[in-house]
Amino acid sequence: MSIPTGDIEGLKARLKSTWMAGDFGEIAKSIKSHAEEFIERRSIERGMRVLDVACGTGNTAIPAAKAGANVTGVDIATNLLEQGRIRASGEGVNIQFDEGDAEALPYPDSSFDLVVSMYGAMFAPRAERVAAELVRVCRPGGEIAMANWTPDGFVGQMFKVTSAHVPPPPGMPSPVLWGDEATVRQRMASGIAELQLTPIRVSFRYPFSTSETIEFYRIYFGPTQRAFAALPEDKQSALRRDLEDHWAKHNRATDGTTDVEAEYLEVLARRA
């Protein structure tokens, strides 16, 4: 099932509003190390032109700029872009942050040596357009690198728990299909000379209990905040219970804090 053409602009507006809700900057702090390790593996050279698609507050863009790249970040959420500008200034790096859509990137063909997206472009509703745009703006011989949550990993299963209470819009594909190897091979079949897919394990650590972690996400993570808001109060308690069960089941900590292991699929594509 595909998204009806007449519904796409309304859906895009809802998605933008969702990602601007809460304060993703607080969430970004807990995955900052993921981004730093992801960028370390990219072998960035000074002067390299890098585009960070769905850049959020700059978790990936900032370490790329520190490595010497000329970095541009693009995102639909204007409040996150502003946080990114403030962060970059504080870190002493110069990054261009632009408002834009992963399905229609506002850059000419072959503009970048490296195009990255970490936990970002996977949430755009029309995957085939995202794939085509990532390839289009990357120069021939350049690299596209994505980090996408896997369906069976901790985050993919958390999304599944939430979707059982608040179903996604009709025709909206699951974002975690970008973490499914067979699906990615199909989506990245055109314009790619080489494709490498590697599961990567990372940790989420919070200095408070799993119950408090759910509250943290309800306050700061736009999708979780909106999911709770979409439900009447009696059904909110059921969503909270199922999320707490999910986090508690995977919590490795024994001291009252939270420590869970998650998995993403690292997608490395060499542009033909």
pTM for the model stands at 0.95
Give the Cα separation of 10 and 12 in Å (integer): 5
Please say whether the beta carbons of 73 and 100 come within 8 A. Answer: no
CA angle 94, 95, 101 (to 5 degrees): 170
Reading the block at residue 162, the tokens are 């939430």
> What sign does the CA torsion over 209, 211, 213, 219 have?
negative
End-to-end CA distance of the chain: 30
Judge residue 226's burial from the number of C-beta atoms within 10 Å of its C-beta, 0-12 exposed, 13-18 middle, 19 or more buried.
Answer: middle
Pair type for strands 192-206 and 258-271: antiparallel
pLDDT for res 255:
98
Give me the tens of pLDDT residue by residue for the chain, a chain 272 residues long.
566 656 898 999 999 999 999 999 999 999 999 999 999 999 999 999 999 999 999 999 999 999 999 999 999 999 999 999 999 999 999 999 999 999 999 999 999 999 999 999 999 999 999 999 999 999 999 999 999 999 999 999 999 999 999 998 887 899 999 999 999 999 999 999 999 999 999 999 999 999 999 999 999 999 999 999 999 999 999 999 999 999 999 999 999 999 999 999 999 999 99
Homologous superfamily (CATH) for 5-150+171-202+263-271: Vaccinia Virus protein VP39 (3.40.50.150)
How confident is the model at residue 7, as a pLDDT? 84
Q: Where are the beta strands (DSSP E) in the chain?
A: 49-53, 70-75, 95-99, 112-118, 138-149, 192-206, 258-271
Q: For residue 81, what are the contacts with CB-CB under 8 A and spacing of at least 6?
A: 55, 73, 75, 97, 98, 99
Exposure on the CB side of residue 135, measured as CA atoms within 13 A: 19
